[in-house]
Chain A
Amino acid sequence: DAEITQSPRHKITETGRQVTLACHQTWNHNNMFWYRQDLGHGLRLIHYSYGVQDTNKGEVSDGYSVSRSNTEDLPLTLESAASSQTSVYFCASSESRDTEAFFGQGTRLTVV
């Protein structure tokens, strides 16, 4: 079955370190998204991509970057981790407009 997987599921890192969260989908979807989920804020969009070599900033993109070298993967990099980036991160993909977004199970990141 097609799926979307995130790794790692849990990570603890130190302030200032570079961290990369992986997202891999097997639906061959063009659209991929990264969100962070924080209490009282719901899900907020970090970055998104409509296809290979395409990346766009979301509403909370500062301190994060993504790259899209193939259809299946959209890794999220925290250039220099900060305590404010402690959160649960969700990756999602969708086929097109008006269609369902499929979510990964999330990565819980703690920055100490």
Chain B
Amino acid sequence: GDSVTQMEGPVTLSEEAFLTINCTYTATGYPSLFWYVQYPGEGLQLLLKATKADDKGSNKGFEATYRKETTSFHLEKGSVQVSDSAVYFCALESGGYQKVTFGTGTKLQVIP
């Protein structure tokens, strides 16, 4: 079945550091890929998405590129802020099905 694997957290970075959170997936067909963010005490919010190979999703300075050859969708940001502290979930939606499979989440803590 479908699965998503994320790097283990927590990840602790200093403000203005470069962020990479790795995500790889296994799926049949051509899934759509998503990054969701969960701030403390809240539900998940969509951060960015890509629906086909080589697409780049971007939002709020975050980027991720859909790499079919490596089945990856790594999240990057050039300069993190304290306000980026949250849990980040990589997710996929399989072709033909309208449900989403999530990774285990990666907690990011940014310190001043």
Interface residues of A (CB under 8 A from B): 31, 33, 35, 40-45, 48, 50, 58, 90, 92, 94, 96-98, 100-101, 103-106
Contacts and interface: CB of A to CB of B under 8 A. Distances in A.
A42 B104 contact: yes
Contacts of A40: 104
B46 interface: yes
B44 A42 contact: no
Given A42-B105, A45-B100, 19 more contacts: A31-B98, A40-B104, A41-B104, A42-B6, A42-B103, A42-B104, A43-B89, A43-B102, A50-B98, A58-B99, A90-B43, A92-B43, A96-B98, A97-B96, A98-B49, A100-B46, A100-B49, A103-B43, A106-B42
B51 interface: yes
Chain B interface residue bracket vs A: 20 to 34
Given A40-B104, A98-B93, A48 B43 contact: no
B99 A106 contact: no
Interface of B: 6, 32, 34, 41-46, 49, 51, 89, 93, 96-105
